[in-house]
Structure 1
Amino acid sequence: MSATHRPPTSNATPHFVEVVAATVERFGHRPLLSAHGSGAALTYADVWGWAGASAQRLAGVGATPGERVVVRAPKSVEMLIAYLAALRLGAVWTPVAPTATTTELNQVIDDAEPRVVIDGNRALCDMVGAAPAGAPEPQPGDWPNPTPGPDQIAAMLYTSGTTGRPKGVPITGAALSANAHALVDAWRFTEHDVLVHALPIHHAHGLFVAVGCVLASGSSMRWIDRFDATEVIDGLRKATMFMGVPTHFVRLLEDSGFDRATCASVRLLISGSAPLPAVTFQHIADRTGLEVVERYGMTETLMLASNPIDGIRKPGSVGLPLPGVEVRLGSFDDADRPGRATEVGMVEVRGPSVFEHYWGRPPDPADRASAADDDHAEGPAQQPWFRTGDLGRFDADGYLHLVGRSKDLIISGGLNVYPAEVEAVLEGQPGVAEVAVIGLPDDHWGQQVTAIVVPDTGPAPSDEFCEQLVASARERLSAYKLPRQVHLTDALPRNTMGKVDKAALRRSFG
């Protein structure tokens, strides 16, 4: 029997543009966002009208329903308006990182075959135009304004595959709606919430999680174009929520202003996109009195799990499957599926926000697991399972713990070593700020466990520091899990999502 968590059945879900339109109708007079330092707030009606005028401009340059609109530009209010304009038009919003090279941008263009490309902030501002001061909302007859079906693609994000070339992940309007509604319910968003938004919006965390929750609930945002600890702390004094990646929380902890007084009105701190070390979780709780809510998702699936608002929030766990989401552990080595909840397996999922296949590519059997062995046969149960590539385990309370990516699994002397387990032990040692554990080739063991350590800001590590680090870990780790090499470095390489780039570490230290 597999460790499986099943959702209730759900009714048909509308396209996300209908969700936003309903929010605007209900809360049009309320503030949607205020940019840091500007003082002025834009209401829902302001933003929706601006997006309507911008949709006219997009239509004028050839954007039509179903056509891709590729955008490379820094985060800005105008970027958000352009996204909403594409939604209103029924076009497919396709952002790339503002730091993407011309080669990377061209790879996306070659694959997506967009009708419109907006490259750079100036081009974006020209397309969006200025906020219409008191301008009337465009009428449906003024520009193509179809009501997209729920299964129509609303956005496409690109993620690198095993080939290294970007692969497009089509995301339907219904998937965006299901994702937003599940999170609004799980995190109890209301129109009275104020979110400090300091995330990029070219990926799912900043756009579909953070902005999605706001647009579905009628809440508001303190908008910060680029993460800055001082600006975030200033925003938190009048906010109820903050979403960030672990690196953001580390930077906040470095500022003495991140404390209980600053967070007096804050009810939720939410972390995602990368694992939050348990020691960082505890430091945040000590400083602010708030326990961080860790959650789990990926571009291909949107959000899958979250620690609960009520009940225990477990450090090192991504919590419980969200309503509407099924999670189980499957085989990752062609063996039988794990039968006990404490066993490690490949995280397999299905639900209303899980994508079907990559853009322009047929479904890959390696990405899916059969539903033939399900022990129930009702509706959604027949949907194949998506194999995430993440390894995890369930604890006795049903909480999901991720232990690493399958590609990062270390096999030393024929035994499996899960990097997250070793990292959790080393991160708790004195003098350690951050650590990443990788496997490097070894003629005798096949792979050797190697730790890359960033020392904290205290005294410079002595020659015995690395030896003491391993010696201290012996009490909690079996011998085969202990690092055979420890390298010190000033910083760990990270991608735009804040995740440690272990491939880069293997290249540097291998």
Structure 2
Amino acid sequence: MHPASHVTTTPDRPALIMAGTGETTTYLELEHRSNQGAHLFRSLGLKVGDVVAILMENGPRFLEVAWAAQRAGLYFTCIPTKLTAPEVEYILNDCGAQALIVSPDIESADELGARMDRLSLFMSAEARDPFHSYEGERAHFPVTPISDQAAGSDMLYTSGTSGRPKGVKLPISGSAFDSEIRMEVVCRELFGFEPGCIYLCPAPLYHSAPLRFSMTVQRLGGTVVLMEKFDPEAVLTLIEKYGVTCAQFVPTHFIRMLRLPDAVRKRFDPSLLKSVIHASAPCPVPVKEAMIAWWGPVIHEFYSGTEPVGMCHITSQEWLTHKGSVGRAVVGILHICDDEGEPLPARTEGSVYFEGGTWVAYHNDEAKTAEVHNQHGWSTLGDVGWMDEEGYLYLTDRKSFMIISGGVNIYPQEVENLLIGHPKIADVAVVGAPHEEMGEQVVAVVQPMPGFTPGPELGQEIIEFSRAHLSHVKVPRRVDFMDELPRHATGKLYKRLIRDAYWGKAEAKIV
């Protein structure tokens, strides 16, 4: 199925409704605009397998660009909007993008325009030099399909402990542009998405789950209600206003909705919801219990990643008898392995691997690809956990100390690489510490250079230094100090000792 297949039956049905403005895009409009976009990309010389990059806030043009690329057989790389210009530039160069489409309010847009003149540059709405108007250029082309339609794919980036993002690039098969994809099957059979469903998207489309769920809903002929920005009370209002039947959240969203005043929550009737999905970060057991008690047993959880190594799934009913689990494998075969990559018995903690999932190499990174495979050819997202006798997985750690704050992945090494260059820092470790609302917050633990006094003044200086060089989500929210960071004689940092101190698992002298 494909949005194009619904034009003859429901041309006036909304494919997209913007939550804040109410602007609506019908299936006929989506068809015409994505066809024009595909013609535009062909006019630039882009052929099947080439790459366009999307650096856009949630808005009506985002999915129009994605579908234009998809039906032209292109990869579309969606880039987080808060990255700095050098961070975006790295991704643009690594993925080999030939065109870039940006929103006018992107902070890095003007700098990118000056730095990336090798690309075809477009801006939605009112464009400014050196960008061309995406809508204006698109309008010159016919609304009928290009002659050589083929199925394209997203090419998204995920970071690792090195801090450098890694591209997940699945092979483009050359199949028909409207061929069925696995996500359709997952949404229908696991999550109960129905043709014509109404889906609320409260998160940025540059993330894999919101993007893929939204595009799948449009494959099914449903309506995406897209929020420009998450607001807990607005979520409840939108569900009732549009008759939302399905939605996807992260645990931070749950926490914020649960904190709404009782009077607000009592006004909301959750009976419209048929399927609510969450993932991205561990959900505290009390939070999930409260959400099921409020919204009923409609909440699904899945464990997977941008890398399609495998997938686990659990329903509300299952979770209530296996609290804390992220489910059983529904894609791939689940294994818990020791440090040598060999399977472990039930209820033994180890690295989580999947056998048989769809997987290809990280783009341009053979070393990182090798790190996530064991000698059996099984793949891992880098998480640690254990499995019970029934095959339910329980996660006990994150990939390599990755920090997940509000559902956003933050990788410590990149922050550490910056801070170690500060003239007053002798050594530094960046870890995630508990945060009641966001799940985790970024903390920099600093060993000052001799002659510099640890304290609030130096801590604030380090935070300001970080703000000048990093996107805001990566900036430490707290700076603590140690006389000397725990390192082995070989120089290896015992970061676990530092991190565990914040989680009540160990003691460390942190001031």
Counterpart amino acid of residue 239 in structure 1: V
How far did 1:404 drift?
Answer: 1.0
Report whether the alignment pairs 1:114 with 2:114. Answer: no
Name the structure, 1 or 2, with higher relative contact order (CA <8 Å, separation 6+).
1
Aligned residue in 2 for 1:345: 350
Cα 1:25–1:451 change in 2 (3 A) is farther
Cα 1:298–1:335 change in 2 (3 A) is closer
How far did 1:360 drift?
Answer: 2.5
Q: 2:248 touches 2:276 (CA, 8 Å); kept in 1?
A: yes
SS in structure 1 of the partner of residue 315 of structure 2: coil
Report whether the alignment pairs 1:393 with 2:416. Answer: no
Cα 1:25–1:276 change in 2 (3 A) is farther
SS in structure 1 of the partner of residue 65 of structure 2: helix
Cα distance between partner residues in 1 of 2:155 and 2:3:
19
Aligned residue in 1 for 2:188: 184
Q: 2:58 touches 2:228 (CA, 8 Å); kept in 1?
A: yes
Report whether the alignment pairs 1:129 with 2:128. Answer: no
Cα distance between partner residues in 1 of 2:309 and 2:248:
15
Q: 1:204 touches 1:299 (CA, 8 Å); kept in 2?
A: yes
- Residues 406-444 of structure 1 deviation map (CA, whole Å, 9 limit, x = unaligned): 5239xxxxxxxxxxxxxxxx99xxx96676599996589
Q: 1:242 touches 1:269 (CA, 8 Å); kept in 2?
A: yes
Cα distance between partner residues in 2 of 1:275 and 1:483:
21
Q: 2:36 touches 2:144 (CA, 8 Å); kept in 1?
A: no
Aligned residue in 1 for 2:327: 319
Cα distance between partner residues in 1 of 2:356 and 2:335:
12
Cα 1:368–1:241 change in 2 (3 A) is same
How far did 1:386 drift?
Answer: 1.2
Q: 1:168 touches 1:358 (CA, 8 Å); kept in 2?
A: yes
Aligned residue in 1 for 2:61: 78
How far did 1:55 drift?
Answer: 1.9
Cα distance between partner residues in 1 of 2:278 and 2:394:
15
Counterpart amino acid of residue 400 in structure 2: K
1:196-275 pair list within 5 angstroms: 196-208=200-212, 210-237=213-240, 238-256=243-261, 257-259=264-266, 261-275=268-282
- Residues 443-494 of structure 1 deviation map (CA, whole Å, 9 limit, x = unaligned): 89963664548xxxxxxxxxxxxxxxx7xxxxxxxxxxx44369xxxxxxxx
The structure 2 residue matched to 1:403, chosen from 383, 389, 396, is 396
Q: 1:54 touches 1:85 (CA, 8 Å); kept in 2?
A: yes
TM-score normalised by length of structure 1: 0.69
SS in structure 1 of the partner of residue 304 of structure 2: strand
Q: 1:184 touches 1:216 (CA, 8 Å); kept in 2?
A: no
Cα 1:105–1:326 change in 2 (3 A) is same
Report whether the alignment pairs 1:165 with 2:164. Answer: yes
Cα 1:139–1:47 change in 2 (3 A) is closer
Q: 1:294 touches 1:307 (CA, 8 Å); kept in 2?
A: yes
How far did 1:394 drift?
Answer: 1.3
Gaps of 5+ in 2: 106-122, 128-132, 174-178, 403-432, 446-484
Q: 2:18 touches 2:59 (CA, 8 Å); kept in 1?
A: no
Gaps of 5+ in 1: 1-17, 372-383, 410-425, 454-469, 471-481, 487-508
SS in structure 2 of the partner of residue 407 of structure 1: helix
Aligned residue in 1 for 2:120: none
Once the two structures are aligned, what percentage of the paired residues are identical? Answer: 22
Cα distance between partner residues in 2 of 1:53 and 1:434:
41
TM-score normalised by length of structure 2: 0.69
Cα 1:161–1:442 change in 2 (3 A) is closer
Cα distance between partner residues in 2 of 1:369 and 1:252:
41
How far did 1:212 drift?
Answer: 3.5
How far did 1:161 drift?
Answer: 2.7
Cα distance between partner residues in 2 of 1:112 and 1:357:
14
Cα distance between partner residues in 2 of 1:19 and 1:113:
27
How far did 1:366 drift?
Answer: 2.5
Q: 2:40 touches 2:138 (CA, 8 Å); kept in 1?
A: no
The count of residues paired between Structure 1 and Structure 2 equals 401
Counterpart amino acid of residue 327 in structure 1: L
Counterpart amino acid of residue 273 in structure 2: V
Cα distance between partner residues in 2 of 1:299 and 1:277:
22
- Residues 236-295 of structure 1 deviation map (CA, whole Å, 9 limit, x = unaligned): 222122211111111111223345833121122221111111111122233334463221
- Residues 97-129 of structure 1 deviation map (CA, whole Å, 9 limit, x = unaligned): 111100101111221222112233370346542
Q: 1:259 touches 1:287 (CA, 8 Å); kept in 2?
A: no
After TM superposition, the structure 1 stretch with the greater mean CA deviation from structure 2, 240-249 or 34-43, is 34-43
Cα distance between partner residues in 2 of 1:116 and 1:443:
45
Cα distance between partner residues in 1 of 2:329 and 2:210:
21
Q: 2:200 touches 2:239 (CA, 8 Å); kept in 1?
A: yes
Q: CA RMSD in A?
A: 3.7
